[in-house]
Amino acid sequence: MNIPDIIIAIDGYSSTGKSSFAKVIAKEFSFLYLDSGALYRGVTLFAIENGLIDDDCTIDVPELEKALETLDVHFGEGGTYIADRCVEQDIRSLAVADKVSPIATVAQVRNYVDRKLREFGSRRRVVMDGRDIGTTVFPDAELKIFMTADTQIRAVRRADEMRAKGMEADIEDVKKNLLERDYIDSHREVSPLSKAADAVELDNTHMTMEDQMVWLRNLISERFGC
Ligand code: DC
């Protein structure tokens, strides 16, 4: 299938399979895949390691804002980097997951990440997943998908994913974290998680990856006549 040079924005709740879906899309259509959550996770890891967020999630906002001026979180070979250190494994820990949503409420952090993401937008043929890609980062994206799935299924999927990477994962802890993040992400003041008016909803609770790809190919051929 030959599809035009577009931006595909995938938003939705935590662990609805956005990044797995986006990676398969990128492979099938030779698009660049960008995981916006990884940048928020990178900033969070930096904040934890530098004492800018404490155990009860109080953030030293002035110091964090100052640090952002020189902080270099970026995508590189094998995933996400802070300067020349690959942090792909570290940013997936529950310790980071616990603190990333509070960090992502800070307006300066959002500006920092948005700036980095928009640098990729000019080239099109990009699929990006997150919480506010279709509403804030790329409101002009030609295709917007909003993903949902049953909470228990999401917790099981995320726990399996963590275990596959050699991490410990208790389903109840994972579920609690997902629900807390969903709440904070959808209630924050700046760019809350919400479905863009022109996004198409995909509930993948009972869908395999191939089901989702069939759904997408149909959508693309209806929308772009290809
Ligand atoms: O997609 P993820 O679970 O890796 O994202 C981690 C957190 O980052 C998520 O709980 C909220 C924040 N995030 C955001 O606020 N906006 C985005 N576009 C992507 C992620």
Q: What is the CATH number of the domain that holds 34?
A: 3.40.50.300
The tokens for 129 are: 């997943």
Q: What's the pLDDT score for residue 123?
A: 81
**To test the ligand 1 pocket, which listed residue (10, 185, 186, 187) has its Cβ within 8 A of the most ligand atoms?**
185
Number of other CB atoms surrounding residue 132 within 10 Å: 25
The list of the chain residues with pLDDT below 50 reads: none
Smallest CA separation from ligand 1 atom 2, residue: 37
Smallest CA separation from ligand 1 atom 20, residue: 37
Q: What's the pLDDT score for residue 219?
A: 97
- Between CA 58 and CA 53 the distance in angstroms is 5
Q: Is 26 left (phi over 0), alpha (psi -120 to 50) or beta?
A: alpha
Q: Is 83 left (phi over 0), alpha (psi -120 to 50) or beta?
A: left
Residue from 214, 141, 210, 204 nearest 15 by CA:
204
- Pairing status of strand 126-130 against strand 7-12: parallel
Give domain status of residue 79, yes or no: yes
The tokens for 89 are: 């494994």
Give domain status of residue 223, yes or no: no
Q: Closest ligand 1 atom, CA of 40?
A: 8
Number of other CB atoms surrounding residue 182 within 10 Å: 20
What torsion do the CA atoms of 191, 125, 216, 2 make, to the nearest 10 degrees?
160
List the domain range (segments joined by +) for residue 123: 7-217
Please give the sequence-ordered ranges of beta strands (E in DSSP) within the chain, or none if there are none: 7-12, 32-35, 73-76, 79-82, 85-86, 126-130, 143-148, 200-203
- Between CA 84 and CA 200 the distance in angstroms is 38
pLDDT in tens, 147-169: 999 999 999 999 998 899 898 99
Q: What's the pLDDT score for residue 1?
A: 85
Quote the ligand 1 centre to 130 CA distance (angstroms).
6
Give domain status of residue 225, yes or no: no
- Pairing status of strand 73-76 against strand 79-82: antiparallel
Give domain status of residue 40, yes or no: yes
Give domain status of residue 64, yes or no: yes
Give domain status of residue 118, yes or no: yes
- Between CA 174 and CA 170 the distance in angstroms is 6
- Pairing status of strand 79-82 against strand 85-86: antiparallel
Smallest CA separation from ligand 1 atom 16, residue: 131
- Between CA 39 and CA 104 the distance in angstroms is 10
Quote the ligand 1 centre to 129 CA distance (angstroms).
9
Q: What's the pLDDT score for residue 43?
A: 98
Quote the ligand 1 centre to 7 CA distance (angstroms).
19
The tokens for 67 are: 């640090």
Count of domains in the chain?
Answer: 1
Give domain status of residue 226, yes or no: no
Number of residues that make up the chain? 226
Quote the ligand 1 centre to 178 CA distance (angstroms).
11
Residues with CB under 6 A from ligand 1: 14, 36-37, 40-41, 100-101, 104, 130-133, 181, 185
What torsion do the CA atoms of 60, 65, 66, 69 make, to the nearest 10 degrees?
150
Give domain status of residue 224, yes or no: no
Q: Closest ligand 1 atom, CA of 11?
A: 18
Q: What's the pLDDT score for residue 226?
A: 87
Q: What's the pLDDT score for residue 28?
A: 97
- Please check whether residue 188 is in contact with residue 104, taking contact to mean a CB–CB distance below 8 angstroms: yes
Quote the ligand 1 centre to 83 CA distance (angstroms).
21
Smallest CA separation from ligand 1 atom 5, residue: 37
